[in-house]
Chains A and B, each alone.
Chain A
Amino acid sequence: MMFFLANLGMYVFPIILIGVPLYAWVKGVPVYETFVKGAEEGLQVIIGTLPYLLAIFVGISCFRGSGALQLVSKHMGRLLKPWGIPTEVLPIIVTRPISGSGSLGVTGEILRVHGPDTSLGLLASILQGATDTSFYVVTIYFGSVGIRKTRHALPACLIGDIFGFLTGFIIWKLMVYGR
């Protein structure tokens, strides 16, 4: 089962890659012209997101490079310690919604130092995989259609992230307790 799931994405990709153009060809769609037109559209869309991505990247790197992010993680650590959440994983919780590569770096460091199969390594991996990078998704999705007033999209995503982390933490507790 696990093996099947692991390779599902790998099999789906070539099937789509062959299947869609073949089906379109059978349906009489001019395959090459249509693909190129779509590719052109894709290029325009991604180029259009640059100003938005640049703005949020600059903001985040300002926050991170100045040491403000570390400061926030440190103080949040004190806040969350009574809940039984190990302080080592706090940088993951704080960084995860802001920067995907940043939190993957923190997770990698924890796995390297403590080992991937220790209980701490397990928690770090679960938290890393629990959600996606909300800031990035909100920025690129709305940026691509030129929408600046995102209303409650980001707060709602962050609330989702908090619940995702909580669930991951509870499952981890159960897994470790069951060992």
Chain B
Amino acid sequence: MYELSVYLGLGEGCVMNAVWLVLIISGSVVALMTGNVDALMSSVLEGAYDAVQLVIGLAGIFCLWVGIERLANESGLIDALARVTRPVLGPLFPHVKDEEKIMGAISATIISNILGLSSQTPLGLKAMAQIRQVHGETYQAIHSMITLVIISAAGFCIFPSGVIALRAALGSQNPAIVAGPTAVAGLVSTCAGLLAHRLFSKRWDETQGGSKLP
């Protein structure tokens, strides 16, 4: 997809252009060929409705967690957290490792992720905003941002509550048996994503004529 995006002249590094176009065009072509146009119409409208529903549904959780984060921030808890996690997370975020506010928010995001708390996304977005603040106005993803997104998207979690609840509801004798395997898979997924990130970044730095991006 990365190559495709550059090749089609959709803008270097703008993968989302290619993804979005592919989704829309292939969907529409299939619908026209199979006569599924009615289903397509209602599905698209439903998608738009769902996006608004999701944002409204998340608003409360966001207000709550960002409010709590602000308290933790002003009382110095975030800085303390950053100092504790620094030996582990410092090497992963070399460009921002000295900014305690950012590292604290990143740590809180990753801990929420591992514990499966609803604070994951609110705190993650807070960390993104702080990384952006340091680097100023930019429309381009910054190295540390991509690292955080990869860790969040890999979803390393010690207790996948959604699946376990589903299994329990359907009468499983041992609903939590999947927690171990999913944790290992999540860990491998995180490592593979970070490795891919490293390789992509290296090539990016080379193609940009040695001008390293933060």
| B-binding residues in A (CB < 8 A) | 2, 5-6, 8-9, 12-13, 16-17, 20-21, 23-24, 26-27, 29, 31, 34-43, 45-47, 49-50, 53-68, 71, 104, 107-108, 111-112, 115-117, 121-122, 125-126, 128-135, 137-142, 144-157, 159-168, 171-172, 175
Contacts and interface: CB of A to CB of B under 8 A. Distances in A.
Contacts of A54: 47-48, 51-52
Contact of A36 (B39, B67, B132, B160): B67
A151 B15 contact: yes
A165 B115 CA distance: 21
Given A132-B153, A151-B146, A171 B185 contact: yes
Contacts of B65: 42
Given A42-B66, A148-B139, A159-B192, 6 more contacts: A57-B50, A59-B47, A116-B166, A129-B160, A129-B163, A129-B185
Contacts of B153: 131-134, 137-138, 157, 160-161
A147 B189 contact: no
A28 to B, nearest CB: 9
B13 to A, nearest CB: 4
A122 B41 CA distance: 35
Interface of B: 1-2, 11, 13-16, 19-20, 23-24, 26-31, 34, 36, 39-44, 46-48, 50-52, 54-55, 58-59, 62-72, 74-77, 115-117, 119, 121-122, 124-126, 128-129, 131-132, 138-141, 145-146, 148-150, 152-155, 157-164, 166-167, 170-179, 181-182, 184-186, 188-194, 196-197, 200-201, 204
B125 A45 contact: yes
Given A62-B40, A66-B36, A112 B149 contact: no
Q: Which of A6, A115, A126 has the most CB of B within 10 A?
A: A126
